[in-house]
């Protein structure tokens, strides 16, 4: 099979590319290689190609798709950091909305002319649902985005739905919980906690630190996306999560415990955190109901959070050592 991944040098994209290559599929990633992109570590891999292109350049995107002739496209390209969207929303509007339009338009033409059975998976976020006090997000929850980032992703989801309903474009949308694992940008929560604790820098904590997120290991997410590309129903949306809802302050404490188990110099929670002014429009809690996709893919209750957190800590620690040397 042949797969295109937009944003393929990003955090989730590069983990997904590695997974697909391990299955001996042909993979082409499209990435404009921004500050959040990883270096081309896969360039020597068999069956791998990278095209350095902004997804907003529709003619170039269309040309790549028509030439490569993919069976599936995973649309992951996005500006994703909430804080950055509050400081400057324009890149989010451009990439997440206009970029998605560009990909949908190009894919629709490709589907009509060359491959009517190809599928585009629009990879989105649970943040489009806003904040939930109790219970869990289901696929039929109303969209109530509270940040420029989540609003731009909600817009992208609506475009994907519209192209499916109006033009019969073969699109599936997923809304996933917070990912963590290797290759995530240092500005994100878990990499920042790990790096700051190791470097003896304070870990900034918004508000009281009790905000909760549903966490999934990125490699588990990649596996689920692959299975969904085979079994997902066109026009449907699927929530992806692990029912692992944890507060930010607990995440910091869990990582601190890992650090203390590995190093002689012990640290206490109160010594590493620094409370800062809360984020504007900060959602308090996300929680995913994954029963729909769990039933479809016959997923097991895979939730090795502590084990995966240790693996993530080790990966970032080794990366720091590598950068020093």
What is the three-state SS of the chain? CEEEEECCCCHHHHHHHHHHHHCCCEEEEECCCCCCCCCCCCCCCCCEEEECCCCCCHHHHHHHHHHHCCCEEEECCCCCCHHHHHHCCHHHHHHHHHHHHHHHHHHHHHHHHCCCCCEEEEEEEHHHHCCCCCCCECCCCCCCCCCHHHHHHHHHHHHHHHHHHHHCCCEEEEEECEEECCCCCCCCHHHHHHHHHHCCCCEEEECCCCCEEEEEEHHHHHHHHHHHHHHCCCCCEEEECCCCEEEHHHHHHHHHHHHHHHCCCCCCHHHHEEEECCCCCCCCECCECCHHHHHHHCCCCCCCHHHHHHHHHHHHHHHHHHHHC
Q: Catalytic residue positions? A: 126-127, 149
CA distances from 10 to 38, 284, 313, 319, 321 (A): 6, 26, 19, 17, 22
Contact 45, 57 (CB under 8 A): no
Query: What is the C-alpha separation between 260 and 273, in angstroms, rounded?
Result: 15
Question: For strand 26-30 and strand 2-6, is the pairing parallel, antiparallel, or unpaired?
Answer: parallel
Contact 126, 239 (CB under 8 A): yes
């Amino acid at each position: 099979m042949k797969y295109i991944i937009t944003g393929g040098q990003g955090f989730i994209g590069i983990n997904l590319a590695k997974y697909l290559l391990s299955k001996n599929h042909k993979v082409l990633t499209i990435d404009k290689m921004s500050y959040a992109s990883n270096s081309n570590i896969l360039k020597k891999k068999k069956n791998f190609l990278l095209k350095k292109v902004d997804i907003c350049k529709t003619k170039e995107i269309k040309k790549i798709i028509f030439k490569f002739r993919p069976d599936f496209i995973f649309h992951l390209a996005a500006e994703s950091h909430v804080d950055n969207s509050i400081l400057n929303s324009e890149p989010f509007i451009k990439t997440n909305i206009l970029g998605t339009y560009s990909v949908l338009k190009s894919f629709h033409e490709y589907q009509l002319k060359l491959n009517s059975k190809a599928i585009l998976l629009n990879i989105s976020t649970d943040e489009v649902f806003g904040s939930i006090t109790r219970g869990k997000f289901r696929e039929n929850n109303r969209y109530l985005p509270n940040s420029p980032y989540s609003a731009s992703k909600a817009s992208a989801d609506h475009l994907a739905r519209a192209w499916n309903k109006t033009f019969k474009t073969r699109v599936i949308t997923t809304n996933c919980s917070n990912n963590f694992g290797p290759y995530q940008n240092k500005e994100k929560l878990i990499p920042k906690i790990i790096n700051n604790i190791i470097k003896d820098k304070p870990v900034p904590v918004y508000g009281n630190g009790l905000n909760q997120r549903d966490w999934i290991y990125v490699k588990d997410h990649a596996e689920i996306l692959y299975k969904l590309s085979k079994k997902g129903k066109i026009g449907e949306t699927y929530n992806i999560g692990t029912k692992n809802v944890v507060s930010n302050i607990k995440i910091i404490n869990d990582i601190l415990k890992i650090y203390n188990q590995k190093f002689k110099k012990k640290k206490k929670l109160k010594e590493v955190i620094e409370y800062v002014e809360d984020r504007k429009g900060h959602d308090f809690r996300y929680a995913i109901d994954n029963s729909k996709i769990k039933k479809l893919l016959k997923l097991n209750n895979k939730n090795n959070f502590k084990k995966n957190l240790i693996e993530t800590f080790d990966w970032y620690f080794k990366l720091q050592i590598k950068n020093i040397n």
